[in-house]
Amino acid sequence: MKTFPENFLWGGALAANQVEGAYLADGKGLSTSDVQPKGVFGEVVERVAGDSGIKDVAIDFYHRYPQDIELFAEMGFSCLRVSIAWTRIFPQGDEQQPNDAGLAFYDRLFDELASHHITPLVTLSHYEMPWGLVKQYGGWGNRKVISCFERYARTVFNRYQHKVKLWLTFNEINMSLHAPMTGVGLPETSSKAQVYQAIHHQLVASALAVKACHEIIPDAKIGNMLLGGLVYPLTCKPEDVFRALQENHSWQFFGDVQCRGVYPGYMRRLFRDKGIELDITPEDLEALKSTVDFVSFSYYMTGCVTTDEEHNKQARGNILSMVPNPHLASSEWGWQIDPIGLRTLLNELWDRYQKPLFIVENGLGAKDHVNADGSIQDDYRISYLNDHLVQVREAIEDGVEMMGYTCWGPIDLVSASKAELSKRYGFIYVDRDDNGNGTLNRSRKKSFYWYKEVIASKGATLKE
């Protein structure tokens, strides 16, 4: 009977801006997420008194976290991935002193997790940054933001050094290439050169945070977080195979810098070919040598690429402009389902970096139906997660070193892409709809009990 390692961490993953609500409570400032009420691909809307968005309350985790953590503990979680809202700590981003009320909230949150023996995995910046840094300095395009982030990172490392031993720097850092406002605080109309300069500043800031974490919390581990955007060639034509290599380089680049400490040759060539000249100082190059301890990533789907422009025209406009794979089924939202792709990705990342891997997001967004008796029979979610976890177990058998698995949205939350509550991921149902109506009451889905059994059996109950 195949099982997962004894020290494997089981749990779920959340983001502050998608669950907490209380968007201006206790001195919190506005974030880029707050001014994008329609999600990461939505336009920026300046907030005025009286207007509201779905994320302003979200699922009210800010006030209901003890109840939610108790449910996670009932499932047997040994780990919960959360993020700290940067604007709860530094409301505008450039203050010299932190907001005590914001710091105190996360003290309470981490203490609650500890009382249930759940290890926190904490992301420093998950799809949000202080809106003040965008308005005042132009976001990550301005080198000054590096020092603002380092001050924030050092503040929370010092504050929570005895409570948090697992950290991540930036969520899905490569998403900046597709959603620059969400990733680096730049307008969607920014040039590639502007985006890559902002990304460079963010990579330096990430490395400085790694260095600070090692100094302040010597027994901690800090990793990066990639959007695992694995693509296949649509055909075996050499041109398609090489195009797939290039497309995979576009996201692997971020991991290469964070794991190896230098810019890879293929990116230096890209910059030369595109006429992109970045402002990179000797101090930047020295900072980048502080590399991460482990690699974490999200995995939802794969896609294909080709040199055939007719296929490419049809693909433009989907989330990553990938050509659909004719051999795969798709979810209600058009995301292709590829469990074996997860095993492939795990092997590729392990071979590439030889650093422990942590799957910190994976899951199925779907419309759940509440039956007359209150039950939710989400067998489709169980099937999706079962098939992916079987492939994780196979990757471990392949020799891949794994730290853990935190499925995305163990409790229903506001989706990042379009700020919907109808796109549900959770084992726990939250009674709230896209218009903000509902009681916010929590209830267990069928998958709640399934995941509880998987964790208790260390994966032995998974079906091949």
Cα(65)–Cα(196) distance, integer angstroms: 37
pLDDT > 70: percent of the chain: 97
Could you tell me if 446 and 375 are in contact, meaning their C-beta atoms sit under 8 angstroms apart?
yes
Coil, strand or helix: which one is 277? coil
Helix (H) / strand (E) containing 226: strand 221-227
CA angle in degrees (0–180, nearest 5) for 156-160-163? 150
pLDDT at position 318 is 53
What are the two backbone dihedrals, phi and then psi, of residue 366, each rounded to the nearest 5 degrees? -150, 160
Condensed to tens digits (0 to 9), the pLDDT of residues 316-371 reads: 555 556 889 999 999 888 889 999 999 999 999 999 999 999 999 999 999 999 99
Helix (H) / strand (E) containing 251: helix 238-260
Neighbours of 100 (CB within 10 A): 11
CA angle in degrees (0–180, nearest 5) for 352-391-74? 110
pLDDT for residue 27 is more than 80: yes
Condensed to tens digits (0 to 9), the pLDDT of residues 36-46 reads: 988 998 889 88
Condensed to tens digits (0 to 9), the pLDDT of residues 359-403 reads: 999 999 999 999 999 999 999 999 999 999 999 999 999 999 999
- Please give the average per-residue pLDDT across 427-435, as a whole number: 97
Neighbours of 185 (CB within 10 A): 28
pLDDT at position 320 is 58
Cα(409)–Cα(425) distance, integer angstroms: 5
pLDDT at position 333 is 83
Coil, strand or helix: which one is 82? strand
pLDDT for residue 310 is more than 80: no
Name 379's Cβ contacts closer than 8 Å, sequence gap at least 6.
Answer: 446
pLDDT at position 329 is 92
pLDDT for residue 49 is more than 70: no
CA 82 to chain centre: 10
pLDDT for residue 420 is more than 80: yes
pLDDT at position 435 is 93
pLDDT at position 42 is 85
Question: Is residue 172 annotated as a catalytic residue, yes or no?
Answer: yes
Cα(31)–Cα(200) distance, integer angstroms: 21
Condensed to tens digits (0 to 9), the pLDDT of residues 99-153 reads: 999 999 999 999 999 999 999 999 999 999 999 999 999 999 999 999 999 999 9
Cα(390)–Cα(53) distance, integer angstroms: 39
pLDDT at position 313 is 59
Q: Taking Cα atoms as reference points, which of 299, 293, 300, 260 lies closest to residue 401? A: 293
- Please give the average per-residue pLDDT across 308-312, as a whole number: 72
State the greatest distance between any 2 C-alpha atoms of the chain, in Å, as a whole number.
65
Provide the residue ranges of all domains of the chain, joining segments of one domain with +.
9-456
Long-range residue pairs from 246-251, CB within 8 A, at least 24 positions apart, any chain: 247/305, 250/174, 250/177, 251/174, 251/177, 251/226, 251/227
Coil, strand or helix: which one is 295? strand
Could you tell me if 393 and 387 are in contact, meaning their C-beta atoms sit under 8 angstroms apart?
no
Q: Sorting pLDDT into bands at 50, 70 and 90, what band is 7?
A: very high
Could you tell me if 295 and 226 are in contact, meaning their C-beta atoms sit under 8 angstroms apart?
yes
pLDDT for residue 315 is more than 70: no
Q: Is 241 exposed, middle or buried (0-12, 13-18, 19+ CB in 10 A)?
A: middle
Beta bridge partners, 223, equal 168, 294
Helices (H), 301-432: 309-315, 339-353, 379-397
Condensed to tens digits (0 to 9), the pLDDT of residues 204-252 reads: 999 999 999 999 999 999 999 999 989 999 999 999 999 999 999 999 9
Q: Taking Cα atoms as reference points, which of 196, 198, 204 lies closest to residue 273? A: 196
pLDDT for residue 269 is more than 80: yes
3-state secondary structure labels for all residues of 89-158: HCCCCCCCCCCHHHHHHHHHHHHHHHHCCCEEEEEEECCCCEHHHHHHHCHHHCCHHHHHHHHHHHHHHH
Q: Is 81 exposed, middle or buried (0-12, 13-18, 19+ CB in 10 A)?
A: buried
Q: Single out the catalytic residue among 128, 361, 394, 420.
A: 361
Condensed to tens digits (0 to 9), the pLDDT of residues 166-217 reads: 999 999 999 999 999 999 999 999 999 999 999 999 999 999 999 999 999 9
Token pair 């991540």 is found at 168
CATH number of 9-456: 3.20.20.80
Q: Single out the catalytic residue among 20, 128, 172, 394.
A: 172
Q: Sorting pLDDT into bands at 50, 70 and 90, what band is 52?
A: confident
Question: Is residue 397 annotated as a catalytic residue, yes or no?
Answer: no
pLDDT at position 314 is 60
Mean pLDDT, the chain, as a whole number? 95
